[in-house]
Chain A
């Protein structure tokens, strides 16, 4: 996580202001910012800020009070009034936070004497029987009994506390200690407000998901997931990476074929196929006859969404001169597909699954059934794109921690794409996944992501051999990532012939390719 800049803190870097200015009177650098600070006090102030820093660093995890870092500071010269306001706001509503001392700035000098040994000093918050953090009323300080002391909290510190609180809450949920979990979830909500950017969003979503789990309120989806997916497609390179790398593998498998058949296990809007059709059209010798079978869920309004997508793809194919045929298969779950989608023997078949297979793990036996179904189609190539994380562990706490790290990286990478409606929708899309992983159980929990190693084991035992994605796919993927604004963050990594899209060191999405093992007798 990026260190968030502390807004509202009077002195940004204490070490910078150590030398007092030669001219007495107000320090003009501070004056520019609107603070009236005597130059002669600067060394003193700096020293005390260092003590403040140290004192804060030594305080334990005792639920310290939090300054909302995005406070609007209307009157910068009235520093004492600001501090007072913030402290009174914070001390009244929440019983969990322990507020300590107050600062009273006397005189027209804004920074007269921040008392040394400030901040927490002797605040040891004890856990009561209920697990609520008690507020330790700190009456006066050691040096200046009448001067209240300021609590200025480092937001990175709060970030760490936030993560700890989230994990503590998850642990409480696992132990079924709902009262403690309830208290902690509220605490997390409070801490989350002090953060900015990715951390705040992640914490908010996880807190909401935990709350849903505790109170057993399950969400009802209002926004159509296809719409969210379209926005996800447009944000960042994630889905484009998935589509382009899978297409490259399919293209190579189709080399030399005259009739090809692609089975898409979740057609959605069919965004993957125009690029493949174009690549087929551009190959020397002309395009093959292209047949597409798209699978999708029934629509709530009984409209035939699959057919409409098929129609658009047909229009596209006609434009570029590719012979095209479309079939749509409507089903609630892949495991319910009994019809064997068998192509003719003259066709080369490819099966494609983008973020779809993991959902089968929610129903026992479904995965094996579908893999058998796929094998019955005799495909030359099976492309699988999945999230690279283990969100299917047995223990709730383990799943929680894994998903916290994964989605933190995802949201972090989203930050680099700026704002906009697409990003917001993508956050909602990811938020839904978070909710599913954390709050749901059993057949409802469909976001059962697994790592590449787990998929490799599964495909291997089902009778598939890995196919290495070539250097073409790697090059295309690297180029694609280079086009995105923060090309420094996104990475392509190759592992065992599979390609992974990652954010810095954390892999996020993996594309793998498979074929039926030659000695498999199924």
Chain B
């Protein structure tokens, strides 16, 4: 049953004048906020609603996360990373494990210089290439167990006792 309330019109007008701010209507602000989060928080944010989930999948966000501390940010890397799986994958597979390991090694100081970037990118390439091998089947004669995931970077996933 629909009730037409004359008051409703007024109510809406009131709403217009009171300027409520809904973050979902201001996506650029939302993105700016998300850019400043760490990876866990981004993961949590992705669970909020579909819009937020879609936004967190945006690779630019992860690019920012990968190279946040690096200034100037490396050039020429974007096309390569995008081609090999995107910054989100780079972060999960390489950047995060490398950072975690190094954080345990060095107590303070600069942690994320271009050397770490280069190393992460090299490892990322190795990972992609190995998956290529698996995708192509055992025809290259490279592996015994064809279903095993590429383990070249598995050492990064193992627990470190420093």
Q: What residues make up the interface of A, taking CB atoms closer than 8 Å to B?
A: 224, 226-227, 230, 233-234, 240, 244, 247, 269-271, 274-275, 277-279, 281-284, 286, 299, 303, 305, 308-309, 312-313, 315-316, 319-321, 417-418, 421-422, 472, 475-476, 479-480, 482-485, 487
User: Secondary structure at chain A's binding surface: helix, strand, loop or mixed?
Assistant: helix
Residue in A closest to B155 when the chains form the complex, CB atoms:
A484
User: Secondary structure at chain B's binding surface: helix, strand, loop or mixed?
Assistant: helix
B1 CB-CB contact with A under 8 Å: no
Distance A146 CA – B27 CA, assembled complex (angstroms): 92
The 0/1 profile, CB within 8 Å of A marked 1, for residues 100-133 of chain B is 0110010000000001101101101110110011
Q: List 9 A-B contacts (CB under 8 A).
A: A279-B118, A284-B76, A303-B141, A312-B136, A319-B128, A321-B83, A422-B151, A472-B115, A482-B105
Distance A417 CA – B105 CA, assembled complex (angstroms): 18
Distance A305 CA – B139 CA, assembled complex (angstroms): 8
B43 CB-CB contact with A under 8 Å: no
Instruction: Give min CB distance, A350 to chain B, whole Å.
Output: 17
B142:A226 contact, CB within 8 angstroms: yes
Distance A316 CA – B141 CA, assembled complex (angstroms): 18
Q: Which residues of B contact A303 (CB under 8 A)?
A: 141
B98 CB-CB contact with A under 8 Å: yes
Partner of A281, one of B80, B118, B133: B80
A321:B79 contact, CB within 8 angstroms: yes
Instruction: Give min CB distance, B157 to chain A, whole Å.
Output: 11
B98:A483 contact, CB within 8 angstroms: yes
A316:B77 contact, CB within 8 angstroms: no
A308:B140 contact, CB within 8 angstroms: yes
Q: Which residues of A contact B152 (CB under 8 A)?
A: 233-234, 240
Residue in B closest to A223 when the chains form the complex, CB atoms:
B144
Q: Which residues of A contact B10 (CB under 8 A)?
A: none
Distance A417 CA – B160 CA, assembled complex (angstroms): 10
Residue in B closest to A478 when the chains form the complex, CB atoms:
B115
Distance A336 CA – B49 CA, assembled complex (angstroms): 66
Partner of A418, one of B79, B97, B128, B158: B158
A485:B129 contact, CB within 8 angstroms: no
A316:B128 contact, CB within 8 angstroms: yes
Interface centre among B77, B79, B125, by most chain A C-beta atoms within 10 angstroms, is B125
B156 CB-CB contact with A under 8 Å: yes
Interface size on B, residues (CB 8 A): 44
Q: Which residues of B contact A308 (CB under 8 A)?
A: 136, 139-141
Partner of A283, one of B76, B122, B151: B76
Q: Which residues of B contact A321 (CB under 8 A)?
A: 79-80, 83
B76:A271 contact, CB within 8 angstroms: no
A-B pairs with the 8 shortest C-beta distances? A275-B122, A274-B125, A274-B129, A282-B76, A319-B83, A278-B125, A475-B115, A308-B140
Distance A227 CA – B83 CA, assembled complex (angstroms): 28
Q: Which residues of A contact B45 (CB under 8 A)?
A: none
Distance A230 CA – B136 CA, assembled complex (angstroms): 16
Residue in B closest to A248 when the chains form the complex, CB atoms:
B118
Instruction: Give min CB distance, B79 to chain A, whole Å.
Output: 6
A479:B119 contact, CB within 8 angstroms: yes
B101:A483 contact, CB within 8 angstroms: yes
A316:B129 contact, CB within 8 angstroms: yes
B129:A282 contact, CB within 8 angstroms: no
B143 CB-CB contact with A under 8 Å: yes
Partner of A227, one of B80, B144, B156, B158: B144
Distance A316 CA – B124 CA, assembled complex (angstroms): 12
Partner of B126, one of A274, A284, A305, A475: A274
Distance A319 CA – B82 CA, assembled complex (angstroms): 9
B161:A320 contact, CB within 8 angstroms: no
Q: A275-B122, A275-B126 are in contact. Are A305 and B140 (CB under 8 A)?
A: yes
